[in-house]
Amino acid sequence: MLFSRKVKLKILEANIGLVYLFLYMPIFAVVVFSFNSGEHISVWEGFTFGWYAKLFEDAALWRACRNSLMVAGVATVIATVIGTAAALAIERHRFRFRTVLVRVLYLPIIIPDIVLAIALLTFYVQVRIPLGLITVIIAHAVFNIAYVTIVVRARLQGYDHTLEEAARDLGANEWQTFWRITLPLIAPGIIGGALLAFTLSIDDFVITFFTAGVGYTTLSVHIYSLLKFGITPKINAISTMLLANSIVFILLFLWFQGGTSSSQKQDA
């Protein structure tokens, strides 16, 4: 044997430490330098909140934020409704082309972003849909439907059908059963899927970059142009704000998913 058991364990532990360092050091650096008073993005000069104050005066940034929220909000609503319906159809019904539907449904997240972006761009131009925010919303809904369907299907799979049967035995019609039994039971899955869709939509750059019209800048596209045409320490402050936002969102997502597992335990 090359190494003793003890040495092997040490190597494993060192690897754990290195991976966490690798994952967190860059983010940590961005957060620290967002409080740097110098004009330089990576040379420490002193502490300041100045860059954050500058963010509030930046009209272009806020316009981009508003566009991002609008795109993500509308795309999430569309994707959540369509994706939940699709998940119900796939899990509850047997029909022809079911396997084909499942495969095509997941294809938008299997093919590279840039291919989906180009396909939509050429399509919009060919059918003469002018590029704007609507074209971005449509594009985001395409990949978000897949994610919502995955999350809601997972919820539908681990779920107790006897409750619905009981409701029907007790005289509820199908509509009542759906609204009062099925929907509340799968709600954590739907909310989880919606939060995931919203985050991915806010995060998306490549698809937005190709499908947005000129002048319709979202937050990601705005950050990209800042990175390409003149990096200033303001970027660090924007990044830190976004990071804080992401953390709030993960906590929300986990909270709802946590609700999933505990309520399932109660069901059982």
Partner 1 sequence: MRRNYHLLILLFPVVFWLICFFLLPLVSVFIYSFIERGTYGGVVWNFTPENYQRLFDGLYLGILWRSVSTALVCTAICLLLGYPFAYYLARYKPKHRNVLLLLVVVPFWTNFLIRTYAWILILRTEGLLNSLLGAVIPNWSPLELLNTPLAVQIGLVYGYLPFMILPLYAALEQLDVSLLEAAQDLGASPRRAFWHVTVPLSLPGILAGSMLVFIPTVGAFLTPDLLGGGKVSYIGNVIERQFKTARDWPFGSALSFMLMGIVLVGTVLYFRALQQNEGQPDSPP
Site string for partner 1, 136-175 (x = CB under 8 A): --xx-xx--x---x------------------------x-
Q: How far is the CB of 99 from partner 1 (least distance, A)?
A: 13
Residue number, 112 or 171, with CB nearest to partner 1: 112
Number of residues this chain uses to bind partner 1 (CB under 8 A): 79
Give me the helices (H) in the chain, please: 5-33, 50-57, 59-92, 98-110, 113-126, 133-157, 162-169, 174-177, 183-203, 206-211, 219-228, 234-267
Among 69, 70, 118, 187, binds partner 1 (CB under 8 A): 118
Please report the DSSP string for 184-205 in residue order.
HHHHHHHHHHHHHHHHHHHH--
CA proximity to 48, closest of 35, 39, 60: 35
**Residue 11 interacts with partner 1 (CB under 8 A)?**
yes
Report how far residue 15's alpha carbon sits from residue 2's, in angstroms, rounded to the nearest whole number.
18
Min. distance of Cβ 120 from partner 1 in angstroms? 5
Alpha-carbon span 161 to 182, nearest angstrom: 9
Under the criterion CB under 8 A, does residue 119 sit at the interface with partner 1?
yes
Binding status of residue 21 toward partner 1 by CB under 8 A: no
Give CA–CA dist 215/105, Å, rounded.
Answer: 31
Task: Please list every residue from 32 through 61 that binds partner 1, using CB under 8 A.
Answer: 33, 40-43
Question: Minimal distance in Å, beta carbon 240 to partner 1?
Answer: 9
CA atoms within 13 A on the CB side of 131: 20
For the bound state, the minimum distance from the C-beta of residue 113 to partner 1, rounded and expressed in Å, comes to: 7
Query: Which lies closer to partner 1 via its Cβ, residue 120 or residue 185?
Result: 120
Task: Give one word for 38, left, alpha or beta, with left for phi > 0 and alpha for psi -120 to 50.
Answer: beta
Residue number, 56 or 95, with CB nearest to partner 1: 95
Interface segment toward partner 1; rule CB under 8 A; list 29-37, 45-53, 151-159, 186-194: 29-37
Which 224-253 residues touch partner 1, going by CB under 8 A? 224, 227, 231, 235-236, 239, 242-243, 246-247, 249-250
Tokens of 14: 């060192």
Q: How far is the CB of 134 from partner 1 (least distance, A)?
A: 11
Residue 144: count of CB within 10 angstroms of its CB: 28
The residue within the footprint of partner 1, chosen from 48, 134, 164, 203 (CB under 8 A), is 203
- 7, 114, 166, 183: residue in contact with partner 1 (rule CB under 8 A): 114
Stretch that binds partner 1, among 24-32, 54-62, 159-167, 183-191 (CB under 8 A): 24-32
SS3 36: strand
Give CA separation, 211 vs 122, 206, 215, 216, in Å.
9, 9, 12, 10
Piece in contact with partner 1 (CB under 8 A), picked from 50-58, 69-77, 112-120, 161-169: 112-120
